[in-house]
Amino acid sequence: MKEFNLEEYIMHHVLNSQEWRLPFLPVIQLPEFLSLHGLMLLICAAILITLFCVLYNHKRDVPTGLTNLLESFVVFIRDEIAVSCLGKEDGRRMTPLFCTFFFFILSLNLMGLVPIFSTATANINVTAGLAFITLNFMIFGAIYKNGLRGFLSALTPSGVPVPILILLVPIEILGLFIKASALTIRLFANMLAGHIVIFALLGLIVVLGAVALPAIGMAVFIYLLEVLVAFLQAYIFTLLSAMFIGQMYHPHH
């Protein structure tokens, strides 16, 4: 019998690959241009399009059921995240972006908890792509809104002597990239860590035998915690994106 390798077992479940394993079915080999996490992104996009274009009921004046649930999230994002960080006018204009961020990340996170799917947000390339959108709004969105002069004035803190500005302005410019990197790492690390813990606990049963059966209870606990983390990380990513974009759009408020 082949010796059980715990590290290989964990990494096989959390890393990207070219094959999709479904229960009771032969392994599906994915084409070269599409990895497993890429496929998850497409499935997630399809789910969201179905949710908002097909199942969402536009016709009724008073929303009920699923429409009500989705609307409560949208209103929360508009009022508590977009408008509170960007002001009424910009906030309402930017709400579609933040709704997209929130629902896309939330769906990817929750899909990672369903056994037949994989967690695309535990891939640093996916989170970096999302943070890159925020970075573009922080730089080019701010230039579009305030002009180049306004953008540069956002990078110079008020009430600081000129010699210190020589040091602070480069740090402030690098700070833009640091903030985007922090966004990337925050989502990626949180999603990856939770899944590694679950698989490590389940792997203990194979390594230690029946003695480690309580690990199942622990794994279920971490799994439930992951449901909370899925919502929390989607919220935090959206909130921090809104805050960083708001800081660049309205620098002296």
Partner 1 sequence: MEKKFLPAFSLGLNMAVGMAVFSFLGIWADRKWGGENGWFTLAGIFLGLLYGGYEVWKIIKLNNDLDDQKKQ
Q: Tell me the window of 61-69, 171-179, 204-212, 222-230 that interacts with partner 1 (CB under 8 A).
A: 171-179
- How far apart CA 184 and CA 236 sit, in angstroms, is 12
Residue 132 in the binding site for partner 1 (CB under 8 A)? no
**Residue 177 within binding range of partner 1, rule CB under 8 A:** yes
Choose, by CB under 8 A, the member of 40, 97, 202, 239 that binds partner 1: 239
How near is the Cβ of 58 to partner 1 at its closest, in Å? 32
Secondary structure of the chain as H, E, C letters: CCCCCHHHHHHHHHCCCCEECCCCCCCEECCCCCCHHHHHHHHHHHHHHHHHHHHCCCCCCCCCHHHHHHHHHHHHHHHHHHHHHHCHHHHHHHHHHHHHHHHHHHHHHHHCCCCCCCCHHHCHHHHHHHHHHHHHHHHHHHHHHHHHHHHHHHCCCCCCCHHHHHHHHHHHHHHHHHHHHHHHHHHHHHHHHHHHHHHHHHHHHHHHHHHHCHHHHHHHHHHHHHHHHHHHHHHHHHHHHHHHHHHHHCCCC
Q: Using CB under 8 A, which of 185, 193, 197, 225 touches partner 1?
A: 185
Please count the residues of this chain forming the interface with partner 1, following the rule CB under 8 A: 20
Angle formed at CA 219 by CA 216 and CA 225, multiple of 5 degrees? 150
Among 6, 47, 48, 168, binds partner 1 (CB under 8 A): 168
Residues 24-83 that bind partner 1 (CB under 8 A): none
Q: Select from 182, 206, 211, 228 the one that contacts partner 1 (CB under 8 A).
A: 182
Among the candidate windows 2-10, 135-143, 177-185, 210-218, which touches partner 1 by CB under 8 A?
A: 177-185
- Establish if 175 lies at the interface with partner 1 (CB under 8 A): yes
Q: Is residue 178 involved in binding partner 1 (CB under 8 A)?
A: yes
Interface pick for partner 1 out of 196, 243, 250, 251 (rule CB under 8 A): 243
The residue (of 182 and 206) whose beta carbon lies closer to partner 1 is: 182
Distance of alpha carbon 243 from its chain centroid, rounded?
15
Tell me how far, at minimum, the Cβ of 236 lies from partner 1, in Å. Answer: 8
* Binding-site member from 44, 77, 82, 85 for partner 1 (CB under 8 A): 85
The contact set with partner 1 (CB under 8 A) reads 84-85, 157, 167-168, 171, 174-175, 177-179, 181-182, 185-186, 236, 239-240, 243, 247
